[in-house]
Amino acid sequence: MPFTLAPELHAQPTPFYHYDLGLLDATLTALQQAARPRNFQVHYALKANVNLPVLARIKAHGLGADCVSGGEVQRALEAGFAPEHVVFAGVGKSDAEIRLALAADIWCFNAESAEELAVLNELAGAQDRTARVALRVNPNVDAHTHAYITTGLEANKFGISLADLPAVVAQFGSWPHLELVGLHAHIGSQITDLTVFAELSQRLNELQTWLESQGHQLPHLNVGGGLGINYEQPDGQLIPDFEGYFSMFDRHLVRRPGQQVHVELGRAVVAQCGTLLSRVLYVKQSQSTRFAILDAGMTELMRPALYGSYHHIQNLSSTAPELLYDVVGPICESSDTFRKAVALPETRRGDLVAIRSAGAYGEVMSSGYNLREKVAAVYVGG
Ligand code: LLP
């Protein structure tokens, strides 16, 4: 079913984000039906979308929170996630952010370097606490996704490289305010070739065996996020392949008795539930190209400009025969293009356009460039 907009929302000023909380509920139900019987705990990666009504649904379905800044830790607590279900990851945590998370007594810090561990130890000591820590390793596994969202290769800034891990683990005894509780890896985002998760599992199995040989039993493993969605055909498969994702780990990750396994999904939870609604300001025919100029631009949805990402585009107002348009925004950058040569029914000034699959890394990545105002969010269903 293509996207439809309730009649009462046709007069809503554009651009705006539209969230389908009914679809979010259905997604979360499917997610937990795949995760729970296999005994996986899902932490939602707040970075994908931090809107409170969205977080409220996610919390109601029993997910935890994966945060990458002090602001996200605060937002998760504000949304009602219990501190014992909050983790704090990120390659550059500031002292103030670490202090805030320590004071909230969150479940775990995913640490990415010996330098960070030393600071964490010192700040935990100052609060007379012990910080629970998982080591984020860089497993050097290729996720076969866009270079900008690949994170698990030696050349990426993330995690402790396999070569440095022995030295970091050997140092652990010198940090009295840290408790090693787990191993963490995240290899990238928008992953559609699920076999890379088998490779990641294999690497984690080897690392776990090695850590045990060094005297470290791990109560938990965290395999990161990364499950992709179908941007090309948003109505083809509305709910991502959670069964395929979890069964891959189930088959390949060797767990110890009683060991908890966390996954931290962002995109697959929320992307399909969000749509950016915009109106056509002008249709401009140049010598070579027909442009549909929208009132939304890269300031509202940066993904096409930043990664060349595909978002499905629908004209909700016209059923005329199709023509080709370059669909662009109003911002003073040539990269402010949603897509070139899009087949749309003949389009006129005032037509409503839906830009699909924008619920993850859409509104959160919006900017005030050109002094643009932050757009409204509308919630339906659920
Ligand atoms: N865990 C860690 C450590 C991460 O870095 C990320 C995403 C996630 C979990 C959640 O990954 P997901 O399940 O959403 O793939 N702005 C980009 C995506 C950046 C992803 C950053 N890290 C985009 O619009 O495609």
Summarize pLDDT for 299-308 with one digit per residue, the tens. 999 999 999 9
The pick from 138, 267, 366 for probing ligand 1's pocket by mutation, whose C-beta has the most ligand atoms within 8 angstroms, reads: 267
Please determine, for the modelled complex, whether the ipTM score is greater than 0.85. yes
Q: Which superfamily, per CATH, for 7-12+272-380? A: Lyase, Ornithine Decarboxylase; Chain A, domain 1 (2.40.37.10)
21-269: same fold as 7-12+272-380?
A: no
pLDDT value at 267 more than 70:
yes
Alpha carbon separation from 223 to 38, 121, 253, 299, 366 (Å, rounded): 14, 24, 9, 32, 28
Q: Residue 145's pLDDT band (boundaries 50, 70, 90)?
A: confident
Q: Residue 152's pLDDT band (boundaries 50, 70, 90)?
A: low
Residue nearest to atom 19 of ligand 1 (CA): 149
- The domain ranges of the chain are 7-12+272-380, 21-269
pLDDT for the residue 149 = 66
| Per-residue pLDDT tens over the stretch 229-253 | 999 999 988 999 999 999 999 999 9
Share of the chain above pLDDT 90, in %: 92
| Per-residue pLDDT tens over the stretch 314-337 | 999 999 999 999 999 999 999 999
The verdict on the CB of residue 48 being under 6 Å from ligand 1 is: yes
Q: Are 344 and 323 in contact (CB under 8 A)?
A: yes
pTM for the complete prediction? 0.96
Whether the upstream peptide bond of residue 15 has omega within 30° of 0, thus cis, is: yes
The CATH number of 21-269 is: 3.20.20.10
Ligand 1 centroid distance, CA of 11 (Å) = 34
57 alpha-carbon distance from chain centroid: 16
The verdict on the CB of residue 132 being under 6 Å from ligand 1 is: no
- Sequence-separated (6 or more) residues with CB below 8 Å from residue 218: 180, 181, 182, 183, 208, 211, 212, 256, 259
The pick from 27, 44, 47, 191 for probing ligand 1's pocket by mutation, whose C-beta has the most ligand atoms within 8 angstroms, reads: 47
Ligand 1 atom closest to the Cα of residue 365 is 16
